Structure formats: C-alpha cells, structure tokens
C-alpha cells in the first residue's frame, strides 16, 4: 500500500520533445537577453564592421588597391574579431552576472536540463558571432576590397564560425573566475593582448614571432587562411592550429569547470 503511494509520488521519465522544448526556451531567452542588453549588443555587433569599414574604405583604401593581400589581411583580422567577440564578451559578462545574482543556484535547484544554460550560451555566442561577422563579409564582397573568390570567403566563414567555440570556452572561464560587472574588463584583459600580439592586426617583427602561437587568435587566423587557401599568410600547418584550438578549449573549459565546482 505504502509502496503504491510512493510510486504515485515518483516522477515519470520525460518525453524527448519536452526536453528539446526546454533547450529551445533556454536559447530563446538567452538570445532575448543579449538583444535587450544594448550595452553588450551594440559594441559587440557593430564595432567590428564599423572598424572594418573605416580601415578598408578610408585608412588603407589606397594601400589595398596597390597590394590586395593587405585587403585579405584586414578582412581576416576584423572577421576574427566579429566572430569571436560576441562569444567571449556575451558569455563572460552574462555568466559573471548570473553567478552574482544567484541565478545559477536557482537553475541547479530547478529541474532545468543540466547542460541547458551552457548550450544556450554557446548557441547564442556562435549565433551572435555570425550576426557580427555577416555584415563584414557582405561589405567585403560588395566593396571589392578583398581579392578572394566567394567560395574562398565561404570556406573561411565556416572556419571562423566554428572558431568561436574556443572563445565561448574563454568566456566561460572569465565568467567563472570573476563576478558581476568586472567581467567585461577582465575579458578585455584576456582578449586585447591576443589581438595585438598574435599579429592579427599588423604584421609582427621577426623577433616577436616566437610568441604568436600562444594566442588563440593566431590559430583562428591560420585556419582561416588555410580554409581560403591563401598561402601567403600560412605560417603553421592546419592540424597544429586545430590541435592548439582544441587544447585552448579544453584548458579554458577545465578552468571554468574547476572554478565553478569549487566556488559555485
């Protein structure tokens, strides 16, 4: 009798479509939050394309006409920025804020799917990367400031979008290490040195080449150049760069998991 009572209390397993529904709701809410947070959305979505327009149309317009490889170089630099910044800043800032306001604690208590929030953050990080990168690609194609075939740009685009994943992991790490509004500052601390020291924005002097591979941006750039088959800017085999990015992703994720397990 009592066992029967208990059986009615135990909870039945869940239909797969409801589980999928929970993931979709999680993604929808994460996307709405990003869109409704102009402090985050505007700089991250508009800055890369605005800077790309400024540099290619105004600052280096003549130089690109003389040497088309400069156009490819700049396109790669701002595309990397566009594809990776939303992942890092979006995830880092929201996760840090959520930890501060106890939201993750609530989600752990609720029957939310374990990976729901993480999947939502990664999907939105990658998705906003696409939104930020697409206008740069469009502008490059329309303005003719890039000497690549559309198919090369397409291959490059796929690689760039995939390469936002390590920056999702970096965002998780930043969000797990710091709390609240300090996160964007710390994210910059991780991100900006890599932009300059990886040789992404300007060619590095020979003496600094040794350190470029320690920055994830360098490997993203290398993979983009392999995908587009631009041999002039290939400095490292694609397999090494894939391995390095996988390594960075594992390292950042491990630090994030360790931190969140030990500190919550």
Partner 1 sequence: MNNNSPDQRLHALDAVRGFALLLGVAFHAALSFMPGWPPGIWAMNDNSPSQFLSDAAFVTHIFRMSLFFFIAGYFGRLLYHKLGASAFWANRGQRIAVPLIAGWVVLFPLIGYIWITGITKVLGGVAPTMPEMPKTPGAFPLTHLWFLYQLLLTYVAVLAIRSIIARLDPAQKLRNLVDKLVSGSIRSLVAVFTLGIPLAGALMSLGFWFYWQGIPTPDQSLIPQIPASVGFGTAFVFGWLVHRSKESLSAIQQRWFQHLVLAVIATGWLLHTMHAQPMAQPGLTKTLFALVFGVALWGWVLGLTGAALRFLSNYSAARRYIADASYWIYLAHLPVVAGLQVWVGHWPLHWSMKYPFILIASFALLFLSYHYLVRPTFIGKLLNGRKHRVWGRKPDPAPPAAPSPLSPAPKTPSGGATVAQLRGVTKRFGSVTALANIDIEVRQGELLAVLGPNGAGKSTAISLWLGLAEPDAGEATLLGGSPQQLESRRGLGVMMQDVELPKELRVRELLALAASYYDDPLPVEETLRRAGVTNIADRLYGKLSGGQKRQAQFAVAICGQPRVLFLDEPTVGLDIQARAAMWESIRSLLASGCSIVLTTHYLEEAEALAHRVIVINKGRVIATGSVDEMRALVACRQISCETQLVAADVHSWPGVTEVRREQGRLHIATTDAEGVVRRLLAADATLARLEVRQAGLNEAFNELTREAA
Nearest in space to 224 (alpha carbons), one of 211, 238, 243, 203: 238
Question: Helix, strand or coil for residue 237?
Answer: coil
Q: Which stretch binds partner 1 (CB under 8 A): 72-80, 99-107, 132-140, 180-188?
A: 99-107
* Closest alpha carbon to 69 in 208, 228, 242, 193: 228
261 binds partner 1 (CB under 8 A): yes
| Tokens encoding 263 | 């500190």
Indicate whether 12 belongs to the interface with partner 1 (CB under 8 A). yes
CB 230 → partner 1: shortest distance, Å? 18
Q: Of 108, 180, 192, 208, which lies in the binding site for partner 1, with binding defined by CB under 8 A?
A: 108
Does residue 32 belong to the site contacting partner 1 (CB under 8 A)? yes
From the list 47, 50, 53, 112, which residue makes contact with partner 1 (rule: CB under 8 A)? 112
* 5 scored as a contact of partner 1 (CB under 8 A): yes
How many Å separate Cα 170 from the centre of its chain? 8
Phi, psi (5° rounding) for residue 140? -60, -45
Rounded Cα distance, 90 and 181, in Å = 12
**231 token code pair:** 């041999």
231 binding partner 1? (CB under 8 A): no
Query: What minimum distance in Å lies between the beta carbon of 122 and partner 1?
Result: 17
**Alpha-carbon dihedral 158, 162, 167, 171, rounded to 10 degrees:** 120
For the bound state, the minimum distance from the C-beta of residue 11 to partner 1, rounded and expressed in Å, comes to 5
> If binding means CB under 8 A, how many residues of this protein chain bind partner 1?
43
Report the sign of the C-alpha dihedral through residues 203, 207, 212, 213, in that order. positive
Stretch that binds partner 1, among 44-52, 61-69, 110-118, 179-187 (CB under 8 A): 110-118
Q: For residue 39, state whether it binds partner 1 (rule: CB under 8 A).
A: no
Under rule CB under 8 A, residue 66 binds partner 1 = no
Reported as half-sphere exposure (CB side, CA atoms, 13 A), residue 237 has a value of 3
Question: Which residue's CB is nearer to partner 1, number 64 or number 120?
Answer: 120
Q: How many residues does the chain have?
A: 264
Range in contact with partner 1 (rule: CB under 8 A) among 12-20, 65-73, 125-133, 187-195: 12-20
Cα dihedral 99, 101, 103, 106 sign: positive
106 is an interface residue for partner 1 by CB under 8 A? yes
Residue from 113, 171, 175, 221 in contact with partner 1 (CB under 8 A): 113
Please report, as ranges, the residues that interact with partner 1 according to CB under 8 A: 1-3, 5-6, 9-15, 18, 21-22, 24-26, 28-29, 32-33, 36-37, 98, 101-103, 105-106, 108-114, 239, 242-243, 254, 258, 261
């Amino acid at each position: 009798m009592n066992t029967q009572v208990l059986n009615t209390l135990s909870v039945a397993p869940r239909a797969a479509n409801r589980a999928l529904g929970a993931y979709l709701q999680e993604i929808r809410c994460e996307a709405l939050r990003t869109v409704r947070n102009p402090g985050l959305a505007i700089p991250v979505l508009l800055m890369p394309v605005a800077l790309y327009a400024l540099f290619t149309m105004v600052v280096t317009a003549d130089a690109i006409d003389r040497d088309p490889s400069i156009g490819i170089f700049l396109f790669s630099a701002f595309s990397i920025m566009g594809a990776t910044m939303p992942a890092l800043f979006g995830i880092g800032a929201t996760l840090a804020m959520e930890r501060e306001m106890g939201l993750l604690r609530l989600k752990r208590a609720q029957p939310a799917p374990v990976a729901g929030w993480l999947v939502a953050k990664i999907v939105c990080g990658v998705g906003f990367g696409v939104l930020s990168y697409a206008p740069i690609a469009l502008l490059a194609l329309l303005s003719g400031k890039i000497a690549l075939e559309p198919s090369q740009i397409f291959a490059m685009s796929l690689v760039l979008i995939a390469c936002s994943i390590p920056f999702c992991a970096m965002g998780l790490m930043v969000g797990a290490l710091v709390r609240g509004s300090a996160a964007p500052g710390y994210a910059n601390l991780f991100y900006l040195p890599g932009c300059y020291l990886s040789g992404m924005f300007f060619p590095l002097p020979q003496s600094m080449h040794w350190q470029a591979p320690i920055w994830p941006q360098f490997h993203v750039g290398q993979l983009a150049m392999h995908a587009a088959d631009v041999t002039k800017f290939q400095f490292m085999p694609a397999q090494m760069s894939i391995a390095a990015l996988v390594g960075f992703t594992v390292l950042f994720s491990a630090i994030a998991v360790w931190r969140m397990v030990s500190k919550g």
